[in-house]
Structure 1
């Protein structure tokens, strides 16, 4: 589309100085085509869509009054199944604040579904190069990752460093404990749920190790699992209408696993089908998840619970495979700014402590600023929250003004005048270590 956009850059940027293995042949990419924009992206915004050579769909939004910068977005999930254009359209609608603030915005659906962090990071980097070759050369590239996409963005920022393709990184509601640690609590949920409910699997069904999620040929549907959960826990009813037994089981899960009641069903789904994806498609049929030696606490009878739950040992090769793909080294050479809701029901806030430790271990502690809000949501906080974060990140990368949590909070209040909504930053908050919420376990 360079011939139709007056702000388009000339020529092709070849891999921004990346090693040959990281270079993508942008000359082979088909230029994007104009498409209708989702609602609320700002008057005059132009949207472009396409599918890259690896099979990933992508969507680009160019605001009428472009500030010259690009927000390169890594979406969360991960979603299972084939990629779809709908996925990126939904993300643009959710993150429409970015083009409304004047940023160009681009996101990839990734070439495949499932828990594949490095591949998703490659797809995101391919889109950056495609954007520069086919659309425009931005002044700055801000790499943004949301939820699981934060681990994608962090991995990409570690992998693609030569030539500084990204000026800075924004990680929001990030699953940032690494693949080998972030999901331990979901195995804990599976085994404690089964101890209480005995219906996933049913006694009449084939018994399989819960740490594989599901066998390859399993016929279980999400609808059927939801029915079983409701039978056992009564989550489909108001708390006052549950039986005493159901109420006691819900309390046990909340107190032992340390997740809110409202997220039990979703985490159980992820501990089923996401674990199946990891084991069957990523780690060769062996599970990287284990709970050997874990001591569970918080139930009415911890001794009985610990004696009764099923135990599994993670496979060493599977752990190494998952670690290579999804663990984070913290070696990010550019500024990193994060935000996390203290009461996030999906990605626990203690994951931020793990990420901070990784950055510190890599000698990059000074390149990280972490902020927290009093929100109870995961997928989106508020427009002024992100406006303040982007302003602070830009000032840090371009002017050397390292932000503070207090300064970002003040910036949010300032942004409210134009954007409305809420600001709930809590500058004094510090997360506890992940081990205080998720029982530690030995890794092979």
Structure 2
């Protein structure tokens, strides 16, 4: 068994050589979505992280998104591979080149492994998935127009960007723009389910702290995040959280009441104390973006029927937290923009940290159900690593995943979790990092982590 696994791993490591000589799968007959031609990208300074010999191009597209392209030395479209990257977030500010430069630094493994890399900042901030998927496809077409059509294109989505990639892969199918999809640490239960626990956090926090909003401030429904005209800043929100929970000081310096409140939130919401402030920030400013700009002012998030558990007095907690009912029209509108439909016509490979506190690993169970409901269960392979990291899991795991996905696309050799784990060990010499795959990990339903609720 071990020898077979190592042999499979060695074959996957060799995929960069083997795949270049293999025929690509035939394109589907359909009319592709074609955007207007874009101006040529201009030479850019490459981040040092990508290593020597890499050539970078970049610019700003006609929709307003900044983009960056990294081409390894000797890369040619006829035999070259492209990783088209959709970044996480989302960010609420204006797009910047700095945003996408940081992503290339983080994913410098890709050009170092011989793949071209291209990423967009997206043309707007906020929780707008279809728009980001469109920006990503626009960049692919720009790449084809000015660099060349790659022999193989992998669509990669990280975190929130995994939802972008999943939506793009099921939207842009005509002409076969993408050959395979890699989704890492992905927010893959859609906006209508992935953020439920953040409403739970808001109502439990307000019950305990009563300072967001304070009694002397105008009241508003917590699902709204924040009123449009509120002057509250992220720094002020952090100060309020510190005042109530003591998160900004060592545990030994917290008051007994601060420690009690923080423990209640950690136990009820099931997030580590270090992530409470971050999730409250997202449940404030991202929720405001959703309510104001994505749903026409309607409520997407409800907690009717939720039974909160884990506090010192669950009966009192459930009786006193604020309750909200989601608006069906708002939910439908938000779902259309953010929720994956599973109709992805090419191979999909995922990886997720078991202890990820930013995007719970249990969303993968929901995504598997989504793919199965669309009749695409056989096109999905899911892998898990024994890590709590979210933003980056290590060079060797990603190198192994890319090789496994490429071999699946080119040779039809569908990967298995044990095979990916063995391949990771095989590439550690070239890409030193930990390999902590758990091939036997049984992911649980999302409802085992986030309490069920009545839905429209």
Give the TM-score band, short-chain normalised: over 0.9
Task: Verify: 1:426 aligned to 2:435, yes or no.
Answer: no
- For residues 420 and 436 of structure 1, the distance between their equivalents in structure 2, rounded to whole angstroms, comes to 35
Give the counterpart of 2:48 among 39, 49, 59: 39
CA apart distance, 1:376: 1.1
Tell me, yes or no, if structure 1 residue 57 matches structure 2 residue 66.
yes
In structure 2, distance between residues paired with 1:202 and 1:63: 54
Post-superposition offset of 1:81:
1.6
Of the three residues 105, 124, 128, the one matched with 2:117 is: 105
Q: Does 1:359 align with 2:355?
A: no
Q: 2:22 maps to which residue?
A: none
- Match of 2:323, SS state, is coil
Q: The residue matched to 2:244 in structure 1 has which SS?
A: helix
In the alignment, is the contact (CA less than 8 A) between 2:196 and 2:301 conserved in 1? Answer: yes
Query: 8 Å contact 1:16–1:165 — kept in the other structure?
Result: no
Q: Which of residues 20, 27, 36 is equivalent to 1:25? A: 36
C-alpha displacement of 1:19: 3.9
| Alpha-carbon offset, residue 82 of structure 1 | 1.0
Match of 2:396 among 384, 395, 399: 384
2:57 equivalent in structure 1: 48
Hey, which bits of structure 1, 4+ residues long, moved more than 3 A? 15-20
Contact 1:18 1:160 in 2 (8 A): no
Q: What corresponds to 1:164 in structure 2?
A: 176
Contact 1:296 1:306 in 2 (8 A): yes
CA distance in 1, matches of 2:94, 2:151: 33
Aligned match of 2:405: 393
Please name the residue that 1:12 is paired with. Answer: none
Matched-pair contact (CA < 8 Å) for 2:31–2:175: no
What residue is the counterpart of 1:190 in the other structure?
202
Partner of 2:294: 282
Instruction: Please list, as runs of the form range in 1=range in 2, the aligned pairs for 1:2-21 lying within 5 A after superposition.
Output: 19=31
C-alpha separation between the residues in 2 aligned to 1:380 and 1:300? 36
CA distance in 1, matches of 2:390, 2:369: 22
SS for the counterpart of 1:60 is: strand
Query: In the alignment, which of 231, 244, 247 is matched to residue 219 of structure 1?
Result: 231
Query: Aligned pair in 2 of structure 1 residues 18, 145: CA closer, same or farther (>3 Å)?
Result: farther
Deviation at 1:18?
5.9
Q: What is the alpha-carbon distance in structure 2 between the residues aligned to residue 356 and residue 145 of structure 1?
A: 16
- Determine whether 1:332 maps to 2:341: no
Classify the secondary structure of the residue corresponding to 1:73.
strand
Rounded to whole Å, the distance in 2 between the matches of 1:430 and 1:403 is: 17
CA positional deviation for 1:17: 6.7
- Structure 1 residue 203: deviation in Å? 0.6
Q: Which runs of 5+ in 2 are unaligned?
A: 1-26
TM-score calculated relative to the size of structure 2: 0.92
Match of 1:128 in 2: 140
Work out the CA distance in 2 between the residues paired with 1:424 and 1:240.
33
Matched residue, 1:345: 357
SS in structure 1 opposite 2:303? Answer: coil
Match of 1:440 in 2: 452
Instruction: Determine the structure 1 residue equivalent to 2:258.
Output: 246
Q: CA RMSD in A?
A: 1.2
Number of residue pairs aligned between Structure 1 and Structure 2: 427
The structure with higher relative contact order (CA 8 Å, sep 6+) is 2
What is the TM-score normalised by the length of structure 1?
A: 0.95
In the alignment, does 2:149 pair up with 1:137? yes
The 1:233–1:416 alpha-carbon spacing in structure 2 relative to 1, beyond 3 Å, is same
Structure 1 residue 243: deviation in Å?
1.4
Secondary structure, aligned partner of 1:248: helix
Deviations 1:316-345 (A, max 9, x none): 111111011011111100000000000001
After superposition, the Cα gap between the structure-2 partners of 1:293 and 1:377, relative to the gap in structure 1 and judged at 3 Å, is same
SS in 2 for 1:380: coil
User: How much does 1:16 deviate?
Assistant: 9.2
* Residues 356 and 389 in structure 2, CA contact (< 8 A), matched pair in contact too: yes
Residue 385 of structure 2, aligned match among 373, 376, 391: 373
Report if the CA contact (8 A) 1:73-1:108 is conserved. yes
Aligned to 1:316: 328
- Work out which of the residue numbers 288, 304, 307 in structure 2 matches 1:292: 304
**Cα displacement (A) at 1:92:** 0.1
